[in-house]
């Protein structure tokens, strides 16, 4: 990886860490959506998060086009694909948003819901529109160069354990709790590793698998393709890996993929899911999770916790923020 020269030696525009501005965007979405935590209405939560995200995005100087506006799959209100964002200044950027990954978690008041946005050079994000689902393996830097989605689960877990100097039974594997994963869960448990079943939110799961001290070592299973690309943007800054293989649900989707020129057997690497090494990523917790604490509303203040990453520099920052509640009243329920 080539490391940038000191910012003072560069064109400052190119070296700007846009992610530090994007964190305001995910904070806004989390604060707005967060009012709906535990209120039993996932669309209202998503709607509030989308609205706040859009409003705050209009304050950021950049030239973006939404290539992943996750709403389609969940029939949620969205920042739609092809929508232009920012004031149009500077080089073109692809934008991937998920104002809430985990709307159901939010509605139920369960762990691991977050608001997320990622940006990368224009044209560098994989187009997820042909196939909704993707089989994934994600792990952190220790075993990033060792795992391979084509290997049996057992072998991958042994490779991770060895690289992390752990016993296999000390590994925790994050898996979306879905009937389609029944066999995978059995395979994982047969190795002695633990499973951490999550109801939704495999973006949080993927990032947790790449970070130290989150209690998650690996993420496996089939989740959303858009979430895979969003995760890849973050994973690049951690030195971890995501590998994905498209998982069409039926013949119709299979044909759509083939027509789009996609190879359904291919294992897509982190660098194929997002080819640019210039990725910006920000996420803010809505509810508590392995990665982030959720929004806290306490009297006159609102507290948020976010993670901000940039792949070119490999920086990962945790941002704790306090917001004046009176400024956010319009999003109250
Ligand atoms: C995952 C998860 C999301 O979709 O990608 C999942 O991260 C996969 O789809 O939070 P299914 O729910 O259909 O299995 C979500 O649950 C919702 O976007
Ligand atoms: Mg999602
Ligand atoms: Mg969503």
Is 16 annotated for ligand binding? no
Percent share of the chain, pLDDT over 90: 85
Percent share of the chain, pLDDT over 70: 93
Beta strand 218-224 pairing with 63-69:
unpaired
The token pair that represents 237 in the structure block: 């800054």
Instruction: Kindly indicate the confidence band of residue 83, based on its pLDDT and cuts at 50, 70 and 90.
Output: confident
Q: What is the DSSP string of 245-262?
A: EE--SSHHHHHHHHHTT-
Q: Of the residues 102, 201, 222, which should be mutated to test ligand 1's pocket, given the most ligand atoms within 8 Å of the CB? A: 201
Q: Is the CB of 99 under 6 A from ligand 1?
A: no
Which ligand does the CA of 244 lie closest to? 1
SS3 content of the chain, % helix, strand, coil (to 5): 35, 25, 40
Which ligand does the CA of 33 lie closest to? 3
What count of residues does the chain have? 333
pLDDT at 165 over 90: yes
Residue minimizing CA distance to atom 15 of ligand 1: 200
What pLDDT, in 10s, does the model give residues 43-70? Answer: 999 999 999 999 999 889 999 999 998 5
- Asked if 287 and 106 count as a contact pair (C-beta separation under 8 A), the reply is yes
Q: Which is more confident, 14 or 303?
A: 303
Per the prediction, the chain carries an average pLDDT of 93
Overall average pLDDT of the 302-324 stretch: 96
Residue 231 alpha carbon to ligand 3 centre in Å: 13
pLDDT at 42 over 80: yes
Is 253 annotated for ligand binding? no
What pLDDT, in 10s, does the model give residues 189-204? Answer: 999 999 999 999 999 9
Instruction: Kindly indicate the confidence band of residue 5, based on its pLDDT and cuts at 50, 70 and 90.
Output: low
- Asked if 207 and 241 count as a contact pair (C-beta separation under 8 A), the reply is no
Beta strand 63-69 pairing with 92-101:
parallel
Q: What is the DSSP string of 101-158?
A: E-HHHHHHT-TT-EEEEEEEETT-B--TTS-SEEEEEEE-GGGTTT--TTS-HHHHHH
Residue minimizing CA distance to atom 16 of ligand 1: 200
The pLDDT value recorded for residue 9 is: 45
Q: Is the CB of 289 under 6 A from ligand 1?
A: no
- Contacts within 8 Å (CB) and 24+ apart, 323-326: 323/27, 323/31, 324/300, 325/297, 325/299, 325/300, 325/301, 326/300
ipTM of the assembly?
0.93
Out of 7-16, 35-44, 111-120, 192-201, pick the least confident. Answer: 7-16
Can you name the residues that pair with 65 across neighbouring β-strands?
84, 94
Overall average pLDDT of the 198-220 stretch: 96
Tokens 């989707």 appear where? 253
CA 150, 153, 155, 156 torsion-angle sign: positive
pLDDT at 15 over 90: no
- Report the distance separating Cα 241 and Cα 229, nearest Å: 12
Ion ligand 2: protein residues whose beta carbon lies under 5 Å: 70, 98, 101
- Report the distance separating Cα 172 and Cα 138, nearest Å: 12
The 10 Å Cβ neighbour count of residue 140 is 24
Tokens 């994982």 appear where? 188
């Amino acid at each position: 990886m080539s490391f940038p020269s000191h910012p003072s030696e560069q064109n400052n525009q190119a070296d700007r860490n846009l992610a530090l501005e994007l964190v305001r965007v995910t904070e806004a979405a989390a604060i707005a959506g967060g009012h709906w935590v535990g209120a039993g209405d996932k669309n209202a939560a998503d709607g509030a998060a989308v609205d706040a995200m859009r409003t705050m995005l209009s304050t950021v100087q950049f030239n973006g086009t939404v290539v992943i506006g996750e709403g389609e799959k969940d029939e949620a209100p969205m920042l739609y694909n092809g929508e232009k964002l920012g004031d149009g200044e500077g080089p073109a950027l692809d934008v991937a948003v998920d104002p809430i990954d985990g709307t159901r978690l939010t509605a139920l008041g369960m762990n691991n819901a977050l608001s997320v946005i990622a940006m990368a050079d224009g044209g560098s994000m994989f187009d997820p529109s042909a196939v909704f689902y993707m089989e994934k393996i994600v792990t952190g830097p220790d075993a990033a160069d060792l795992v391979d989605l084509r290997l049996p689960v057992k072998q991958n877990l042994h490779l991770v354990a060895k690289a992390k100097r752990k016993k296999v039974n000390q590994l925790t594997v994050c898996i979306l709790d879905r009937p389609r994963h029944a066999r995978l869960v059995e395979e994982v448990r047969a190795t002695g590793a633990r499973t951490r079943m999550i109801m939704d939110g495999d973006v949080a799961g993927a990032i947790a698998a790449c970070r130290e001290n989150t209690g998650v070592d690996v993420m496996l299973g089939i989740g959303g393709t858009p979430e895979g690309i969003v995760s890849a943007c973050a994973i690049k800054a951690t030195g971890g890996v995501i590998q994905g293989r498209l998982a069409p649900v039926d013949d119709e989707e299979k044909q759509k993929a083939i027509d789009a020129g996609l190879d359904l057997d291919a294992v897509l690497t982190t660098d194929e899911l997002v080819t640019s090494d210039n990725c910006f990523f920000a996420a803010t917790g809505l509810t508590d999770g392995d990665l982030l604490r959720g929004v806290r509303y306490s009297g006159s203040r609102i507290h948020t916790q976010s993670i901000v990453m940039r792949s070119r520099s490999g920086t990962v920052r945790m941002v704790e923020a306090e917001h004046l509640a009176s400024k956010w009243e319009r999003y109250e329920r």
